[in-house]
């Protein structure tokens, strides 16, 4: 069993606690970027299965989320760009310092957005799980209505409270104002130019996994996000008969099939 060590680093003057699971003989290191409002504790079984598969893992909650205090408030704010420039690079450096390996970004939902955007300006491979471009044009009518409803509710709460208290609408937890406004802009444009003005097609390796009956990241949106890479590999998994609940995150309860797919992709791609 791979033991967990912890490393603390700084983000805008506040501490971030990262869990580091490393065995020197392992050939691959993943940096886990969670979904919005999902604490690191929800990924413990997933992390355990990855380490059992002889994969190193570095994981943490987002700034001011989960165990990283103080929590998001009207006075504590950040956006996508802050995570791309001052959060992910420090996780990447931990991997380089501890293993000498170039890590792979593994993003779930919004984590997949961040991983994809980071790969536009860095030579780094990406795994996206239950993630996709949230632009309206990539969704069916039901999905469009769901997203628009979320956007209006999110921005109304931001105006009222100065940040998103996601528990009020069942979307996220305490989430930063600028982060959610960045997210909302992409809904209407289908682009990330407000975050990265000059998008490109990344040449690095990329794996995207779509979960059937995932209404928060339908296959069309996953395919749209994958097009930021020159040769992405996109696969689907149907866990709906084995794992009950919202398929966007239910896979974390029984992640063995996901880990198997990741392991096979790593073996065949590197």
Q: Residue 199: its pLDDT value, please?
A: 80
pLDDT of residue 226: 98
pLDDT value for 198 = 84
Instruction: Provide the pairing of β-strand 164-165 with 206-211.
Output: unpaired
Q: Domains of the chain: which residue ranges?
A: 4-134+199-269
pTM: 0.98
Beta bridge partners of residue 59, listed in sequence order:
19, 32
Dist. CA 13–CA 167, nearest whole Å: 27
Close Cβ partners of 43 (under 8 Å, ≥ 6 residues apart): 32, 34, 59, 252
**Which residues, given as ranges, of the chain have pLDDT below 70?**
none
Beta-bridged to residue 133, according to DSSP, are none
Whether domain 4-134+199-269 has CATH 3.40.50.1820: the reply is yes
Q: Which residue blocks in 100-245 are alpha helix, DSSP H?
A: 110-121, 141-161, 177-189, 219-226
Q: Compute the radius of gyration of the chain from its Cα atoms.
A: 17
């Amino acid at each position: 069993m791979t033991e967990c060590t912890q490393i603390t680093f700084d983000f805008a003057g506040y501490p971030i606690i990262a869990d580091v699971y490393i065995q020197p003989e392992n050939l691959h290191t993943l940096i886990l970027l969670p979904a919005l409002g999902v604490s690191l504790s929800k990924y413990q079984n997933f992390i355990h299965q990855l380490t059992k598969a002889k994969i190193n893992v570095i994981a943490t909650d987002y700034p001011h989320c989960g165990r990283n205090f103080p929590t998001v408030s009207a006075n504590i704010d950040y956006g996508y760009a802050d995570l791309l420039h001052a959060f992910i690079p420090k996780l990447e450096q931990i991997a380089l310092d501890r293993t000498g390996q170039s890590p792979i970004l593994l993003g779930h939902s919004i984590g997949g957005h961040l991983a994809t955007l980071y790969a536009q300006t860095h030579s780094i491979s990406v795994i996206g799980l239950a993630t996709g471009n949230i632009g309206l044009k990539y969704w069916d009518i039901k999905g469009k209505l769901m997203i628009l409803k979320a956007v209006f509710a999110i921005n109304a709460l931001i105006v009222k409270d100065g940040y998103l208290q996601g528990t009020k609408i069942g979307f996220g937890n305490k989430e930063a104002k600028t982060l959610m406004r960045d997210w909302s802009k992409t809904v209407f444009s289908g682009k990330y130019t407000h975050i990265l003005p000059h998008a490109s097609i990344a040449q690095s390796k990329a794996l995207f996994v779509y979960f059937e009956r995932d209404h928060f990241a339908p296959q069309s949106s996953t395919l749209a996000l994958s097009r930021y890479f020159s040769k992405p590999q996109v696969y689907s998994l149907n866990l709906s008969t084995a794992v009950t609940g919202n398929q966007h995150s239910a896979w974390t309860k029984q992640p063995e099939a996901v880990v198997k797919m990741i392991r096979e992709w790593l073996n065949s791609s590197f």
